[in-house]
Amino acid sequence: MTRFRANIPSSEITPESLYMSRRQWMKWAAVGAAGATLAACAPGSSSAGSSAPAATPVKGTVIPGQTDELGNKLNSLADITHYNNYYEFTTSKEDVAPMSTGFSTDGWQVEVGGLVNKPGKFSVDELIKKYSPEERIYRLRCVEAWSMVVPWMGFSLAKLLKDVEPQSGAQYVAFTTLQAPDRFPGQKDPSYPWPYSEGLRLDEAMNDLAIFGTGLYGKPLPAQDGAPIRLVVPWKYGFKSIKAIVTIDLVAEMPKTMWSSIASNEYGFYANVNPQVDHPRWSQATERRIGELGRRPTLMFNGYAEQVASLYTKLDLRANY
Protein backbone atom coordinates (compact mmCIF):
# COMPACT_ATOMS: atom_id res chain seq x y z
CA MET A 1 0.00 0.00 0.00
CA THR A 2 1.03 3.59 -0.38
CA ARG A 3 2.26 5.97 2.24
CA PHE A 4 -1.01 7.67 2.95
CA ARG A 5 -1.16 5.48 6.01
CA ALA A 6 1.06 6.62 8.84
CA ASN A 7 3.85 4.21 9.66
CA ILE A 8 3.14 4.63 13.32
CA PRO A 9 0.09 3.12 14.96
CA SER A 10 -1.87 5.77 16.75
CA SER A 11 -1.79 3.71 19.93
CA GLU A 12 1.84 4.72 20.21
CA ILE A 13 1.04 8.37 20.13
CA THR A 14 2.33 9.93 23.28
CA PRO A 15 0.07 12.50 24.91
CA GLU A 16 1.16 15.85 23.63
CA SER A 17 1.89 17.24 27.06
CA LEU A 18 4.63 14.67 27.48
CA TYR A 19 6.48 15.27 24.30
CA MET A 20 5.98 18.86 23.39
CA SER A 21 8.87 21.02 24.28
CA ARG A 22 8.07 24.38 25.73
CA ARG A 23 9.12 26.00 22.50
CA GLN A 24 6.73 23.89 20.46
CA TRP A 25 3.95 24.70 22.85
CA MET A 26 4.51 28.37 22.37
CA LYS A 27 4.35 27.97 18.62
CA TRP A 28 1.16 25.98 18.78
CA ALA A 29 -0.33 28.59 21.03
CA ALA A 30 0.63 31.32 18.60
CA VAL A 31 -1.02 29.53 15.71
CA GLY A 32 -3.98 28.62 17.84
CA ALA A 33 -4.69 32.25 18.62
CA ALA A 34 -6.85 31.98 15.55
CA GLY A 35 -6.19 34.80 13.18
CA ALA A 36 -5.27 37.14 15.99
CA THR A 37 -2.03 37.90 14.27
CA LEU A 38 -1.79 38.26 10.56
CA ALA A 39 1.65 36.73 10.73
CA ALA A 40 0.03 33.42 11.50
CA CYS A 41 -1.87 33.64 8.23
CA ALA A 42 1.22 34.24 6.18
CA PRO A 43 1.25 31.69 3.39
CA GLY A 44 4.98 31.30 3.86
CA SER A 45 4.81 30.66 7.56
CA SER A 46 5.66 27.06 8.15
CA SER A 47 3.60 24.81 10.30
CA ALA A 48 4.48 24.76 13.91
CA GLY A 49 5.18 21.08 13.85
CA SER A 50 7.49 21.02 10.88
CA SER A 51 9.55 24.00 11.96
CA ALA A 52 10.22 22.70 15.43
CA PRO A 53 13.87 21.90 15.89
CA ALA A 54 13.06 18.47 17.24
CA ALA A 55 16.06 16.21 17.02
CA THR A 56 14.02 13.05 17.09
CA PRO A 57 10.76 12.99 15.16
CA VAL A 58 7.86 12.89 17.52
CA LYS A 59 5.37 10.13 16.99
CA GLY A 60 2.04 11.18 15.63
CA THR A 61 3.14 14.66 14.75
CA VAL A 62 4.40 15.89 11.47
CA ILE A 63 8.01 15.07 10.89
CA PRO A 64 10.08 17.85 9.29
CA GLY A 65 10.05 17.48 5.55
CA GLN A 66 7.23 14.96 5.68
CA THR A 67 5.34 14.60 2.42
CA ASP A 68 2.48 12.73 0.87
CA GLU A 69 3.21 9.55 -1.08
CA LEU A 70 3.93 11.60 -4.21
CA GLY A 71 6.52 13.75 -2.46
CA ASN A 72 4.33 16.84 -2.04
CA LYS A 73 5.08 19.04 0.93
CA LEU A 74 2.36 19.51 3.52
CA ASN A 75 0.52 22.78 3.71
CA SER A 76 1.00 24.72 6.90
CA LEU A 77 -1.50 24.54 9.71
CA ALA A 78 -2.04 28.29 9.21
CA ASP A 79 -3.07 27.74 5.57
CA ILE A 80 -5.29 24.79 6.40
CA THR A 81 -7.06 26.70 9.16
CA HIS A 82 -7.40 30.10 7.43
CA TYR A 83 -8.65 29.22 3.98
CA ASN A 84 -11.88 27.33 4.43
CA ASN A 85 -15.02 26.86 2.41
CA TYR A 86 -17.63 26.58 5.11
CA TYR A 87 -20.83 28.31 4.05
CA GLU A 88 -22.48 27.54 7.40
CA PHE A 89 -20.30 30.35 8.75
CA THR A 90 -19.70 32.56 5.72
CA THR A 91 -18.94 32.35 2.02
CA SER A 92 -15.66 34.17 2.62
CA LYS A 93 -12.85 31.64 2.99
CA GLU A 94 -10.74 33.98 5.08
CA ASP A 95 -13.49 34.84 7.53
CA VAL A 96 -14.40 31.30 8.55
CA ALA A 97 -11.52 31.09 11.04
CA PRO A 98 -12.41 34.20 13.07
CA MET A 99 -16.15 33.44 12.86
CA SER A 100 -15.82 29.88 14.10
CA THR A 101 -13.72 30.54 17.19
CA GLY A 102 -16.60 30.17 19.65
CA PHE A 103 -18.10 27.10 18.01
CA SER A 104 -18.55 24.46 20.70
CA THR A 105 -18.63 20.77 19.85
CA ASP A 106 -19.05 19.52 23.41
CA GLY A 107 -21.22 16.44 23.71
CA TRP A 108 -21.52 16.10 19.94
CA GLN A 109 -23.41 13.02 18.84
CA VAL A 110 -23.71 11.29 15.51
CA GLU A 111 -26.81 9.30 14.72
CA VAL A 112 -26.33 6.31 12.43
CA GLY A 113 -29.50 4.84 11.05
CA GLY A 114 -31.49 3.79 8.03
CA LEU A 115 -30.99 0.35 6.52
CA VAL A 116 -28.73 -1.04 9.24
CA ASN A 117 -29.15 -3.79 11.80
CA LYS A 118 -27.51 -1.86 14.61
CA PRO A 119 -28.53 1.77 14.44
CA GLY A 120 -27.35 4.02 17.20
CA LYS A 121 -26.34 7.37 18.51
CA PHE A 122 -22.65 7.71 19.22
CA SER A 123 -20.74 10.48 20.87
CA VAL A 124 -17.69 11.59 18.93
CA ASP A 125 -15.50 10.92 21.97
CA GLU A 126 -16.79 7.37 21.96
CA LEU A 127 -16.06 6.96 18.25
CA ILE A 128 -12.54 8.32 18.65
CA LYS A 129 -11.86 5.98 21.53
CA LYS A 130 -13.26 2.99 19.68
CA TYR A 131 -11.73 3.52 16.26
CA SER A 132 -8.44 5.18 17.27
CA PRO A 133 -7.76 7.69 14.50
CA GLU A 134 -4.49 7.49 12.61
CA GLU A 135 -2.66 10.01 10.49
CA ARG A 136 -3.58 10.17 6.81
CA ILE A 137 -1.80 12.62 4.57
CA TYR A 138 -4.16 13.45 1.73
CA ARG A 139 -4.30 15.93 -1.10
CA LEU A 140 -7.45 18.02 -0.98
CA ARG A 141 -8.63 19.29 -4.36
CA CYS A 142 -11.34 21.95 -4.22
CA VAL A 143 -13.78 22.22 -7.09
CA GLU A 144 -12.63 25.86 -7.28
CA ALA A 145 -9.28 24.59 -8.67
CA TRP A 146 -7.04 25.04 -5.67
CA SER A 147 -5.52 22.31 -3.57
CA MET A 148 -3.66 21.60 -0.35
CA VAL A 149 -1.86 18.66 1.25
CA VAL A 150 -3.35 17.96 4.65
CA PRO A 151 -2.21 15.65 7.45
CA TRP A 152 -5.57 14.49 8.81
CA MET A 153 -6.24 12.33 11.79
CA GLY A 154 -9.09 10.00 11.10
CA PHE A 155 -10.48 6.49 10.79
CA SER A 156 -11.96 4.58 7.90
CA LEU A 157 -15.67 4.90 7.26
CA ALA A 158 -15.64 1.15 6.72
CA LYS A 159 -14.89 0.49 10.39
CA LEU A 160 -18.00 2.23 11.61
CA LEU A 161 -20.19 1.05 8.75
CA LYS A 162 -19.29 -2.59 9.30
CA ASP A 163 -20.13 -2.29 12.98
CA VAL A 164 -23.65 -1.00 12.31
CA GLU A 165 -24.24 -3.86 9.84
CA PRO A 166 -25.72 -2.47 6.64
CA GLN A 167 -28.69 -4.42 5.35
CA SER A 168 -28.68 -5.90 1.87
CA GLY A 169 -30.87 -3.09 0.50
CA ALA A 170 -28.43 -0.37 1.53
CA GLN A 171 -26.80 1.07 -1.57
CA TYR A 172 -25.83 4.58 -0.51
CA VAL A 173 -24.72 6.48 2.56
CA ALA A 174 -26.25 9.90 3.22
CA PHE A 175 -24.66 12.45 5.55
CA THR A 176 -26.01 15.68 6.99
CA THR A 177 -24.44 18.58 8.83
CA LEU A 178 -25.79 20.06 12.04
CA GLN A 179 -28.70 22.42 11.43
CA ALA A 180 -28.37 25.28 13.93
CA PRO A 181 -28.71 28.78 12.50
CA ASP A 182 -27.93 30.30 15.89
CA ARG A 183 -24.49 28.68 15.78
CA PHE A 184 -24.07 28.63 12.01
CA PRO A 185 -25.00 32.18 10.93
CA GLY A 186 -24.64 31.25 7.26
CA GLN A 187 -27.67 28.98 7.61
CA LYS A 188 -29.82 32.09 7.86
CA ASP A 189 -29.26 32.62 4.12
CA PRO A 190 -32.46 31.17 2.66
CA SER A 191 -31.01 30.72 -0.81
CA TYR A 192 -29.34 27.47 0.25
CA PRO A 193 -31.32 24.33 1.10
CA TRP A 194 -29.84 23.77 4.57
CA PRO A 195 -28.75 21.57 6.18
CA TYR A 196 -25.75 20.63 4.06
CA SER A 197 -26.10 17.09 2.83
CA GLU A 198 -23.80 14.75 1.00
CA GLY A 199 -23.68 11.14 -0.03
CA LEU A 200 -21.53 8.28 -1.25
CA ARG A 201 -22.25 5.00 -2.89
CA LEU A 202 -21.82 2.30 -0.25
CA ASP A 203 -18.84 0.75 -2.07
CA GLU A 204 -17.19 4.17 -2.25
CA ALA A 205 -17.77 4.64 1.46
CA MET A 206 -16.26 1.23 2.18
CA ASN A 207 -13.05 2.08 0.31
CA ASP A 208 -10.20 2.33 2.78
CA LEU A 209 -9.27 5.84 1.60
CA ALA A 210 -12.57 7.30 2.77
CA ILE A 211 -12.22 8.45 6.36
CA PHE A 212 -13.96 10.37 9.06
CA GLY A 213 -11.59 13.22 9.85
CA THR A 214 -11.35 14.00 13.54
CA GLY A 215 -8.02 15.78 13.72
CA LEU A 216 -5.37 17.77 11.94
CA TYR A 217 -1.61 17.83 12.48
CA GLY A 218 -2.07 15.39 15.32
CA LYS A 219 -4.47 17.70 17.15
CA PRO A 220 -8.25 17.73 17.47
CA LEU A 221 -10.01 19.09 14.41
CA PRO A 222 -10.38 22.90 14.52
CA ALA A 223 -13.93 24.22 14.16
CA GLN A 224 -13.24 25.82 10.78
CA ASP A 225 -12.13 22.48 9.34
CA GLY A 226 -15.34 20.70 10.25
CA ALA A 227 -15.08 19.78 13.92
CA PRO A 228 -15.71 17.50 15.54
CA ILE A 229 -16.18 14.98 12.75
CA ARG A 230 -16.16 15.34 8.99
CA LEU A 231 -15.80 13.27 5.90
CA VAL A 232 -12.53 13.16 3.96
CA VAL A 233 -12.85 11.58 0.54
CA PRO A 234 -9.59 12.55 -1.14
CA TRP A 235 -10.37 11.43 -4.69
CA LYS A 236 -13.43 13.66 -4.86
CA TYR A 237 -13.77 17.44 -4.91
CA GLY A 238 -13.64 18.97 -1.47
CA PHE A 239 -17.34 19.78 -1.26
CA LYS A 240 -18.10 16.04 -0.96
CA SER A 241 -16.21 15.97 2.32
CA ILE A 242 -19.07 17.23 4.46
CA LYS A 243 -18.25 18.89 7.78
CA ALA A 244 -19.74 18.74 11.29
CA ILE A 245 -21.71 15.55 10.65
CA VAL A 246 -24.72 14.73 12.82
CA THR A 247 -26.51 12.01 10.85
CA ILE A 248 -25.41 9.09 8.74
CA ASP A 249 -28.12 7.14 6.97
CA LEU A 250 -27.83 4.04 4.88
CA VAL A 251 -30.36 4.24 2.09
CA ALA A 252 -31.47 2.41 -1.03
CA GLU A 253 -31.66 5.36 -3.43
CA MET A 254 -29.05 7.91 -4.43
CA PRO A 255 -29.54 10.67 -1.82
CA LYS A 256 -29.98 14.33 -2.64
CA THR A 257 -26.94 16.43 -1.96
CA MET A 258 -26.96 20.15 -1.32
CA TRP A 259 -24.76 21.26 -4.18
CA SER A 260 -26.31 19.00 -6.76
CA SER A 261 -29.78 20.21 -5.79
CA ILE A 262 -28.66 23.84 -6.14
CA ALA A 263 -26.90 23.42 -9.47
CA SER A 264 -26.99 19.90 -10.81
CA ASN A 265 -25.28 20.98 -14.04
CA GLU A 266 -22.28 22.23 -12.07
CA TYR A 267 -21.96 19.79 -9.17
CA GLY A 268 -22.76 16.15 -9.67
CA PHE A 269 -23.30 13.39 -7.15
CA TYR A 270 -20.00 11.68 -7.92
CA ALA A 271 -17.77 14.78 -8.12
CA ASN A 272 -14.66 12.69 -8.71
CA VAL A 273 -11.59 14.81 -9.37
CA ASN A 274 -11.23 14.60 -13.14
CA PRO A 275 -9.00 16.91 -15.21
CA GLN A 276 -10.88 15.91 -18.37
CA VAL A 277 -14.31 17.03 -17.26
CA ASP A 278 -14.55 20.78 -16.75
CA HIS A 279 -16.86 22.63 -14.48
CA PRO A 280 -19.18 24.52 -16.86
CA ARG A 281 -17.67 27.85 -15.86
CA TRP A 282 -13.99 26.97 -15.39
CA SER A 283 -11.43 24.36 -16.25
CA GLN A 284 -10.47 21.49 -13.99
CA ALA A 285 -7.32 20.63 -15.97
CA THR A 286 -5.00 22.49 -13.62
CA GLU A 287 -4.98 23.58 -10.02
CA ARG A 288 -3.15 26.02 -7.81
CA ARG A 289 -1.45 24.35 -4.89
CA ILE A 290 -1.79 26.79 -2.04
CA GLY A 291 1.64 28.23 -1.33
CA GLU A 292 2.95 27.80 -4.87
CA LEU A 293 3.23 30.00 -7.92
CA GLY A 294 1.91 28.77 -11.23
CA ARG A 295 -0.35 25.77 -11.67
CA ARG A 296 -0.06 22.03 -11.41
CA PRO A 297 -1.80 19.61 -13.70
CA THR A 298 -4.74 18.04 -11.90
CA LEU A 299 -4.41 14.27 -11.52
CA MET A 300 -7.15 11.79 -12.34
CA PHE A 301 -8.97 10.91 -9.12
CA ASN A 302 -6.62 13.43 -7.49
CA GLY A 303 -3.79 10.94 -7.81
CA TYR A 304 -5.65 8.07 -6.14
CA ALA A 305 -6.62 6.23 -9.34
CA GLU A 306 -4.76 3.10 -8.26
CA GLN A 307 -6.99 2.76 -5.20
CA VAL A 308 -10.34 3.90 -6.57
CA ALA A 309 -10.51 3.64 -10.38
CA SER A 310 -11.93 0.11 -10.08
CA LEU A 311 -15.04 1.57 -8.43
CA TYR A 312 -15.99 3.29 -11.67
CA THR A 313 -15.24 0.83 -14.45
CA LYS A 314 -18.92 0.65 -15.38
CA LEU A 315 -19.58 4.36 -15.07
CA ASP A 316 -19.42 7.03 -17.78
CA LEU A 317 -17.46 9.64 -15.86
CA ARG A 318 -18.37 12.39 -18.30
CA ALA A 319 -22.08 11.88 -17.74
CA ASN A 320 -21.64 11.13 -14.03
CA TYR A 321 -19.46 14.09 -13.08
Partner 1 sequence: MQRKKRRSYGWLQVCVHMAALLPLAWLTWQATQGALTANPIQAAEQRTGDTAITLLLLSLACTPLLTITQFAPFQRFRRPLGVYAFLYASIHFSLFVGLDYLFDFRAIWADTSGKRYIWVGLAAFVGLIPLAATSFTRMMRRMGKDWKRLHRVVYAVAVLAVIHFAWVVKGDLSRLQGDIARPALAVVVVALLLAARLPAVRKRLRRT
Neighbours of 144 (CB within 10 A): 16
CA distance 129 to 115: 25
Contact map string, positions 127 to 146, toward partner 1, x by CB under 8 A: -----------------x-x
Considering only the stretches 35-43, 62-70, 116-124, 130-138, report the one whose residues sit in contact with partner 1 under the rule CB under 8 A: 35-43
CA distance 235 to 138: 9
Judged by CB under 8 A, does residue 18 bind partner 1? no
Q: Backbone phi, then psi, for 83, in 5-degree steps?
A: -145, 80
Q: What letter does residue 67 receive in the DSSP assignment?
A: B
- The letter for the amino acid at 31 is V
**CB 143 → partner 1: shortest distance, Å?**
10
First to last CA, the chain: 27
Which segments within 4-75 are labelled E, that is strand?
none
Contact map string, positions 192 to 231, toward partner 1, x by CB under 8 A: x---------------------------------------
Query: Whose Cβ is closer to partner 1: residue 38's or residue 319's?
Result: 38
Which segments within the chain are labelled E, that is strand?
109-114, 120-123, 134-141, 146-156, 172-177, 197-201, 211-216, 219-220, 230-232, 245-251, 286-289, 296-297
Cβ-contact 151, 62 below 8 angstroms: yes
Query: Whose Cβ is closer to partner 1: residue 5's or residue 295's?
Result: 295
Contact map string, positions 165 to 194, toward partner 1, x by CB under 8 A: --------------------------xx--
Contact map string, positions 46 to 75, toward partner 1, x by CB under 8 A: -----------------------------x
Contact map string, positions 72 to 111, toward partner 1, x by CB under 8 A: ---x--xx--xx-------x-xx-----------------
- Out of 36, 121, 282, 320, the residue judged to bind partner 1 by CB under 8 A: 282
Strands in 245-251's sheet, in edge-to-edge order, are 120-123, 109-114, 245-251, 172-177, 197-201
Q: 271: alpha, beta or left, given left = phi > 0 and alpha = psi -120 to 50? A: left
- Out of 5, 8, 19, 45, the residue judged to bind partner 1 by CB under 8 A: 45
Q: What is the 3-state secondary structure (H, E, C) of 166-199?
A: ECCCCCEEEEEECCCCCCCHHHHCCCCCCCCEEE
- Out of 38, 53, 253, 316, the residue judged to bind partner 1 by CB under 8 A: 38
Judged by CB under 8 A, does residue 277 bind partner 1? no
Judged by CB under 8 A, does residue 288 bind partner 1? yes
Judged by CB under 8 A, does residue 285 bind partner 1? yes
Judged by CB under 8 A, does residue 315 bind partner 1? no
- Out of 283, 306, 315, 320, the residue judged to bind partner 1 by CB under 8 A: 283
Judged by CB under 8 A, does residue 41 bind partner 1? yes
**CB 220 → partner 1: shortest distance, Å?**
21
Cβ-contact 229, 108 below 8 angstroms: yes
**CB 168 → partner 1: shortest distance, Å?**
39
Considering only the stretches 11-19, 104-112, 149-157, 277-285, report the one whose residues sit in contact with partner 1 under the rule CB under 8 A: 277-285
Residues sharing a CB contact under 8 Å with residue 241, sequence separation 6 or more, in sequence order: 140, 198, 213, 226, 230, 231, 232, 233
Q: Where do contacts with partner 1 occur on this chain (CB under 8 A)?
A: 38-39, 41-45, 75, 78-79, 82-83, 91, 93-94, 144, 146, 191-192, 262-263, 278, 281-283, 285-286, 288, 290-291, 293-295
